[in-house]
Amino acid sequence: MRAAAPGGYSVANQKQAYGIPIDLAASNKETLQMVWGPGTFGYSPSELASFAKRECPGMNLDKISFDTLNHGTPGGDNFGEGSLDISMIASFGMNISTLVSNTNTSMSTEEGDGFGLAFLDFLTELASRKTVPHVLSLSLGSLSAYSCELLCTKAVETGEVTLSECQAYLQTQRQVCMFQSTAQAAAINAALMAVGLRGTSVFGSSGDGGSHWSFGPFHGEGKMPRILNQIGCEYQFPVFPTSSPYIVSVGGTDWKNGDPKKPKMWSGSGGGFSWQFAQPAHQQATVERYLTTTADLPASSSFNASGRAYPDISAVAVEGTSQSSPTFAGLFSMIVDMRLNAGLAPLGFLGPRIWSVAQAFPGEAFEDVTEGNSKTSCPAGFPATKGWDPTTGWGRPIWAGMVKHFASDSHSIGYV
């Protein structure tokens, strides 16, 4: 289990920054949330208990359980990932039944493209269950299949490498190209839609490499890292599955000079525009305004201005957007709990409603974050600005406004 986030970013401090009562807990026994991962994804109950004692004494450990027989491997990389996901979703969605699901197959690693197979299998099975979670958080992902194809296409054009050399190299890189093809991505996108239609709100991390990378530049000596790093800075490379229109994409923030009242973009927060999936209608006017009024944008040829724009929202991510996604997922689980207690349906697919609320009631449910840029180590990226931007989306949570606009339908503006 990872220790409390550095620099005063404790669970209590984050809740205070968002206006959330420290002891807010769910009361409906039917409310259900889930985190998922492949391979070694899991957690240590004893270490989670230590985290709860230190960070969130109100966490109900009896509400957290394994969903599958595959519980992960202590010490594995995804074990740390799973521990972070669970600690965040259970801290911000207190007293909610939490399932930890794992697809542990021989191919479901983060090196190579077996991850996509495991993910598709999981979603297909989940959509067919009698009971599905109301909220699902997904922290893992990589460059989209289209991004990986573009990387290798441009690498081959240099005349220095072959297509097979580029593809083989990318398959050795952790969390870089974990999806087999755009066809597989389309199948995953359809499966995410099916899960949403069952009533599950799906949240995903926007990535930790700004608008150019999964995590950061390629490392090591030789021509391949050199070529790919050059191409990586020439284009904006979206990640997947967060760029699916059926996921609520969650970016990252931190605090300027450690002041929780002054949010800014976390330096690695991913964002941009999908190469593969079209921009939903509810995004188009806002995105056009951003692209036509914002200075110092990347070259228009480096991204797909008509693609699905992400992230949608953001939260503290000093440990990466693997922290911010389960945080927001836990908050919306609390909203679902309120809705169930009021006899209302769960929220299901949330994208259009989030955008409608943010557009019609700016500054009520989400606090705008206007400082930052997604360029990371490259010359150009997307700047944060007033309103939505592809760095922190609509901003960080304002709890009272979230309750007002999502816990009931009395403020409906045509999004229910």
Number of H helices, E strands in the chain: 12, 14
Pairing of strands 248-255, 313-316: parallel
Q: Residue 196 is inside which H or E element, if any? A: helix 182-197
214-218, 227-231, 288-292, 352-356: least confidently modelled range: 214-218
Q: Is 387 annotated for ligand binding? A: yes
Least confident of 46-55, 169-178, 284-293, 298-307: 169-178
Band the pLDDT of 416: cuts 50, 70, 90.
Answer: very low
Extract the tokens encoding 325. Answer: 């996604």
Beta strands in 62-116 (DSSP E): 64-66, 97-103
Contacts of 225 (CB under 8 A, 6+ apart): 217, 218, 219
Of 4-18, 198-212, 399-413, least confident by mean pLDDT is 4-18
- Enclosing H/E stretch for 253: strand 248-255
More confident residue, 267 or 97: 97
Q: Per-residue pLDDT for 3 more than 70?
A: no
d(Cα 319, Cα 321) in Å, to the nearest integer?
7
Instruction: Give catalytic residue positions.
Output: 81, 85, 322
Region 128-147 average pLDDT: 93
pLDDT of residue 321: 84
Residue 119 is assigned to a structural domain of this protein = yes
Half-sphere exposure of 40 (CA within 13 A, CB side): 14
Q: Answer whether residue 233 shows pLDDT above 80.
A: yes
Predicted confidence (pLDDT) per residue in 359-372, tens digit: 999 999 999 999 99
Cβ atoms of residues 322 and 250 within 8 Å: no
Is the model more confident about 72 or about 259?
259
> What CA–CA distance (Å, rounded) separates 230 from 379?
11
Which amino acid is present at 237?
A: F
215, pLDDT greater than 60: yes
- Assigned domain for 327 exists: no
Q: Of all residues in the chain, what percent carry a pLDDT higher than 90? A: 74
Q: Could you read off the pLDDT of 270-319 as tens digits, one per residue?
A: 999 999 999 999 999 999 999 999 999 999 999 999 999 999 999 999 87
Q: What is the pLDDT of residue 208?
A: 85
Domain count, the chain: 1
* Residue 252 DSSP class: E
Alpha carbons 287 and 264: distance in angstroms, whole number: 20
199 among annotated binding-site residues: no
CA 207 to chain centre: 7
Which CATH number characterizes residue 174's domain?
Answer: 3.40.50.200
Between 92-106, 132-146, 319-333, 395-409, the lowest mean confidence (pLDDT) is in: 92-106
Residue 145: which of 107, 119, 106 has the closest Cα?
Answer: 119
Q: Is 329:203 a contact under the CB 8 Å cutoff? A: yes
The residue that leads in pLDDT, 149 or 83, is 149
CB 13, CB 5: distance < 8 Å:
no
Query: What band does 74 get if pLDDT is binned at 50, 70 and 90?
Result: low
Cα dihedral sign, 313-38-211-157: negative
Q: Is residue 344 part of a domain?
A: yes
Percent of the chain with pLDDT over 70: 92
Q: What is the pLDDT of residue 107?
A: 53
pLDDT at 1 over 70: no
SS3 327: helix
Position 243 in a domain: yes
In a domain, 60, yes or no: no
CA distance 177 to 237: 12
Task: Please report whether residue 258 resides in a domain.
Answer: yes
- The larger pLDDT score, comparing residue 275 to residue 111, is at 275
The DSSP bridge partners found for residue 383 are 373
Average pLDDT score, the chain = 91
DSSP 385: -
**Is residue 49 scored above 60 in pLDDT?**
yes
SS3 category, 1: coil
- Rounded to an integer, the average pLDDT of 84-104 is 92
Tokens of residue 403, six digits: 């309750």
With a cut of 70, say whether residue 350 has pLDDT above it: yes
Domain that holds residue 151: 22-28+115-318+332-406
In this structure, is residue 56 part of a structural domain? no
Q: What is the mean pLDDT of residues 389-397?
A: 98
Judge whether 259 is annotated as a binding position: no
Q: Is the separation of the CB atoms in 243 and 274 below 8 Å?
A: yes
Q: Residue 369 annotated as binding?
A: yes
Of the listed ranges 28-42, 86-100, 272-286, 369-383, the least confidently predicted one is 28-42
- Asked whether residue 384 is domain-assigned, the answer is yes
Question: 221: how many CB neighbours lie within 10 A of its CB?
Answer: 7
Distance CA 323, CA 337 (A): 22
Report the residue count for the chain: 416
